[in-house]
Structure 1
Amino acid sequence: MRALVLSDIHGNLEALQAVLDAASGWDALWNLGDIVGYGASPNEVIDLIRPLSSLTVRGNHDRVCCGLTSPNGFNPVARAAALWTREELTAENTEWLRALEQGPLHPAQPGVTCAHGSPLNEDQYILSMRDAWAPLQQMTTSITFFGHTHLQGGFSQKEHDWHELRPAYASANEAGSWVFEIPAETRQLINPGSVGQPRDYDWRAAYAIYDTEAATITFHRVPYDVVRAQGRILMAGLPERLALRLREGR
């Protein structure tokens, strides 16, 4: 079985389309949340990803943009985007977001957990080995896919051996992939990266493919039409910073 793992699309239609065009041969799509927020195409993104997803975890921006919680905890730019998105969403898409389940969730594939942030707390960021220590110890499955940080990679543990995973690519502008062979008897916290707003200084859309038979996770980066995505943001009257950061990858 091959699962396409996506996270943090953030209303970026161009990035999502590029990922779906590039990814092939997958059997299930696991969506780790933050489908909307920041980007200027929330309805188009939901309409595209909703029928394809086998599993969708609620993200914190999804929760705020559909009105379940207040945007007051967000910084001013994120808050402005959330309030704009809240007004832009159709009634149907608002209700769909409201009905999404909080993680962690378990797909049909055994041994896997899907979460937005930490599997211990959906709003917690896993940025370092210190952050990863408790989730790795308390995970009920050998692999947990998570998002929220917009940083592609992850953390691996086997007994007293701990490793941080950071994919390396030959080019910063072309499509690329990096294969991680999953060692036996290990625990893995894996972040596929952000589709719509990477923050690891790589502007390309990020995703991952989990192949259960080959016991591999392949990280991918794919270029997309950043200029078009930026134009949508500016035309919508959203903060300019949201457009600029797409090219910067941070």
Structure 2
Amino acid sequence: MKYAILGDIHSNLEALTAVLARAAELKVDSYVCIGDVVGYNSNPHECMEILRGLKPEAVIKGNHDDYVANLQLELYGFNPQAAQAVKWTRSQISEEERLWLEDLPYTKDIIKPGGVRFQLVHGTLDNPRMWGYIFDRYSAETCLQYQSMPLCFCGHTHTPMLYVKSQQEVTASSFEEVRIMPNHKYLVNVGSVGQPRDGDIRASFATYDTKDNTVALHRVPYDIETCQQKILDAGLPSRLAERLGYGC
């Protein structure tokens, strides 16, 4: 079984389309999403429709999904551009789509025959509703303490990163491919499909091959210019379009 792990799609239709084309080339069998389907970009309806059409094994709630779905939540902690995008997205989606976002779980454990076991969370396992960030091995250490399975996928920072706990030591590194070894815990940030922030403007996602027990990171070019123009045409902040061209 080969899974595609998608995260932080953020209503970027062009990036999602390119990622799914690459996933098809890789002969992916199933999909999971670690949250933030919506926010920032201009195609929330289309991205939700495509993702749901994949019949993913799991979709986790991200902070943008939460705030778009819950109209009573004040947008504390969001910068002005992000807050404007949340308000705009609320006005664009249907009630049925809002309820779908509202019903998404904060975490999910995937357990399959043959010893396949992994966890999904958007932010951190220790308090998934508070939207904490994992930026380094020190912040990863707490999350790993709550990790009950050898492998967990997360997102939220929009920066791909690998955290590994072996005995009492936690290490952090970038990665292209890693083999899941016994007696280790792996916390894998899969980066962002729709708004990368690691200086690489290409969309990011990961695959997990349960036969080989390997996780691989994939970077995919997409039509950034079209996405940028659609952001501007929608009346969203120009900063949201600009940052796509810098990967920040």
TM-score (ref. length: structure 1)? 0.92
1:154 corresponds to which residue?
Answer: 162
1:33 corresponds to which residue?
Answer: 35
- Whether 1:95 aligns to 2:93 is no
Q: CA RMSD in A?
A: 1.2
1:166 corresponds to which residue?
Answer: 174
Contact conserved, 1:112 with 1:144, CA < 8 A, in 2? yes
SS of the residue 1:248 aligns to: coil
1:213 corresponds to which residue?
Answer: 211
- Whether 1:67 aligns to 2:67 is no
1:171 corresponds to which residue?
Answer: none
Structure 1 residue 90 displacement after superposition: 1.7
Contact conserved, 1:230 with 1:246, CA < 8 A, in 2? yes
> How many positions carry a matched residue from both structures?
239
1:96-124 deviation per Cα after TM superposition (whole angstroms, max 9, x unaligned): 11111122x11243421100001112201
- Structure 1 residues 109-118 or 210-219, which shifts more? 109-118
Structure 1: stretches of 5+ with no match in the other structure? 168-177
Contact conserved, 2:125 with 2:146, CA < 8 A, in 1? no
Structure 1 residue 183 displacement after superposition: 2.5
Structure 1 residue 32 displacement after superposition: 0.4
2:119 corresponds to which residue?
Answer: 113
TM-score (ref. length: structure 2)? 0.93
Distance 1:47 1:136 in 2: 33
- Whether 1:56 aligns to 2:54 is no
2:153 corresponds to which residue?
Answer: 145
Q: Map of 1:72-83 to 2, 5 A cutoff?
A: 72-83=76-87
Distance 2:143 2:9 in 1: 24
Distance 1:205 1:102 in 2: 24
Task: Report the residue type matching 1:210 in the other structure.
Answer: Y
Contact conserved, 2:111 with 2:117, CA < 8 A, in 1? no
Question: Equivalent of 1:229, from 216, 220, 227?
Answer: 227
Distance 1:144 1:31 in 2: 12
1:127-176 deviation per Cα after TM superposition (whole angstroms, max 9, x unaligned): 11110111212311111110101011220011034321203xxxxxxxxx
Relative to structure 1, the CA distance from residue 73 to residue 163 in structure 2 (aligned partners, 3 Å threshold; closer, same or farther) is closer
Structure 1 residue 88 displacement after superposition: 0.8
Distance 1:16 1:234 in 2: 19
2:17 corresponds to which residue?
Answer: 17
2:200 corresponds to which residue?
Answer: 202
Structure 1 residue 27 displacement after superposition: 1.8
2:184 corresponds to which residue?
Answer: 186
Structure 1 residue 54 displacement after superposition: 1.3
Distance 1:120 1:160 in 2: 18
SS of the residue 1:107 aligns to: strand
2:6 corresponds to which residue?
Answer: 6
Relative to structure 1, the CA distance from residue 108 to residue 28 in structure 2 (aligned partners, 3 Å threshold; closer, same or farther) is farther
Distance 1:227 1:93 in 2: 27
1:54-107 deviation per Cα after TM superposition (whole angstroms, max 9, x unaligned): 10000010011122532233111110000000001122211211111122x112
Structure 2: stretches of 5+ with no match in the other structure? none
